[in-house]
């Protein structure tokens, strides 16, 4: 029996997709299910052969051949994006969406692109998610079960998630979206937020997971946090400095420059830990924090500078750092606890 929830501590873009992919491989997970608002946030990972995988509707745990992928009932679905990802990744027969998902229409996308408040003030991706979510709350949105093109993928994802998680020897990984400090109700930075909450509890709710089945909450902490769009970013460095240091980042789908911080705000990290209750921490982008970590894959390669950071993060969160991310490739990850066998 196992359900692992993956959640971002701060403002997203922390490597949750890679962390989920790593966990599906490590635990031979049967199911990887997407939580979050919808297609307004991307996930990416570079495979061992150098192939860059980018998605924003389906989780990317399918990199494990035995893992099915799904979208929870609390998540919006864009039929065009879904069809593209199923085709690109060859996921016919392995992808599911819940029939109760709200549907993003072309009209929602057009409305957001014309909404200057969202585009200019909030810094929204303008992918139709906010307007679709508003229609869903007002009970006038279309649901996935009512769209003929989605029929091959429709099932009761909540039932499937709980069945897998409750069964001995089977594992489900829940992929949270965006970041805790972008949560509509919990961020101190409203209106510079997303249109839903991004905590571990919100992710469980998005996929209909019984909390009693949760075995771990993995909180992903980016060693040098980033933020896209408007809103405060403590310890922010200049874009020129990030470029000069070779650690500049850009959005997976929008291509927008990610504003980058020198390091962690530990008061915010403590608050994120309070909200999420992590049992494990994945510390990511350690190669940006210390270039000597680039591509390291064994525990002996963890540098003193990163070990010091691990200690500070563990003290702030009250949870052990069990994974250290060291580069863009899927295998650029160090497990600080033994990998299960059998």
Tell whether 258 is covered by a domain.
Answer: yes
Ligand-binding site membership of 20 (annotated):
no
On the 0-12 / 13-18 / 19+ scale of CB atoms within 10 A, 248 is middle
Q: What is the pLDDT of residue 112?
A: 86
How far apart CA 215 and CA 178 sit, in angstroms, is 22
Ligand-binding site membership of 286 (annotated):
yes
Domain count, the chain: 1
Tell whether 126 is covered by a domain.
Answer: no
How far apart CA 232 and CA 319 sit, in angstroms, is 26
Q: Could you tell me the CA-to-CA distances from 4 to 60, 67, 147 in Å, in that order?
A: 15, 14, 31
What are the tens digits of pLDDT across the range 105-125?
A: 999 999 888 888 887 677 777
Tell whether 228 is covered by a domain.
Answer: yes
Tell whether 86 is covered by a domain.
Answer: yes
Tell whether 341 is covered by a domain.
Answer: no
Residue with tokens 């990972």: 45
Name the nearest CA neighbour of 105 among 49, 73, 144: 144
Tell whether 38 is covered by a domain.
Answer: yes
Ligand-binding site membership of 126 (annotated):
no
Higher-scoring residue by pLDDT: 123, 287: 287
What one-character-per-residue DSSP string does 306-341 give?
A: HHHHHHHHHHHHSS-EEEEE-SSBTT-EEESSPPP-
What are the tens digits of pLDDT across the range 150-177?
A: 999 999 999 999 999 999 999 999 999 9
Q: What is the pLDDT of residue 77?
A: 98
Ligand-binding site membership of 139 (annotated):
yes
Ligand-binding site membership of 42 (annotated):
yes
Contact 121, 96 (CB under 8 A): no
pLDDT band at 341 (very low <50, low <70, confident <90, very high): very low
Instruction: Using DSSP, state whether 86 is helix, strand or coil.
Output: helix
Instruction: Using DSSP, state whether 271 is helix, strand or coil.
Output: helix
Give me the percent of the chain exceeding a pLDDT of 90: 87
> Which residues are part of the catalytic machinery?
13
Residue with tokens 């949270």: 176
Q: Is the pLDDT of residue 339 over 60?
A: no
Q: Is the pLDDT of residue 34 over 60?
A: yes
Q: What is the pLDDT of residue 115?
A: 82
What are the tens digits of pLDDT across the range 59-81?
A: 999 999 999 999 999 999 999 99
- Residue-range definition of the domain harbouring residue 157: 2-98+153-335
pLDDT band at 253 (very low <50, low <70, confident <90, very high): low
Rounded (5°) CA angle 92-81-162: 60
Give the domain CATH number at 318. 3.40.440.10
Tell whether 36 is covered by a domain.
Answer: yes
Tell whether 124 is covered by a domain.
Answer: no
């Amino acid at each position: 029996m196992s359900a692992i929830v993956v959640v971002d501590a701060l403002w997203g873009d922390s490597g949750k997709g890679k962390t989920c992919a790593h966990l599906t491989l490590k635990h031979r997970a049967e199911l990887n299910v997407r939580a979050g608002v919808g297609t307004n946030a991307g996930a990416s990972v570079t495979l061992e052969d150098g192939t860059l995988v980018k998605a924003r509707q389906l989780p990317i745990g399918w990199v494990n051949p035995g893992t099915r992928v799904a979208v929870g009932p609390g998540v919006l679905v864009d039929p065009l994006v879904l069809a593209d990802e199923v085709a690109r990744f060859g996921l016919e027969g392995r992808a599911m969406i819940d029939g109760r998902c709200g549907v993003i229409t072309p009209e929602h996308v057009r409305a957001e692109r014309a909404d200057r408040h969202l585009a200019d003030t909030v810094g929204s991706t303008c992918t139709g998610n906010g307007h679709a979510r508003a229609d869903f709350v007002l009970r006038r949105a279309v649901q996935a079960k009512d769209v003929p093109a989605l029929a091959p993928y429709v099932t009761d994802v909540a039932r499937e998630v709980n069945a897998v998680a409750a069964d001995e020897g089977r594992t489900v990984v829940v992929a949270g979206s965006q970041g805790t400090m972008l949560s509509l109700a919990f961020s101190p930075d409203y209106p510079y937020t997303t249109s839903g909450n991004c905590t571990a509890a919100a992710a469980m709710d998005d996929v209909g997971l019984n909390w009693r089945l949760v075995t771990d909450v993995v909180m992903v902490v980016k060693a040098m946090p980033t933020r896209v769009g408007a809103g405060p970013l403590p310890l922010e460095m200049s874009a020129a400095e990030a470029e000069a240091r070779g650690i500049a980042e850009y959005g997976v789908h929008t291509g927008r420059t990610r504003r980058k911080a020198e390091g962690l705000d530990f008061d915010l990290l403590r608050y994120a830990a309070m909200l999420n209750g992590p049992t494990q921490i994945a510390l990511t982008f350690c190669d940006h924090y210390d270039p000597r970590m680039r591509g390291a894959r064994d525990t002996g390669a963890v540098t003193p500078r990163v070990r010091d950071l691990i200690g500070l993060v563990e003290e702030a969160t009250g949870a052990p750092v069990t994974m250290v991310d060291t580069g863009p490739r899927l295998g650029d990850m160090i497990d600080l606890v033994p990998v299960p066998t059998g």
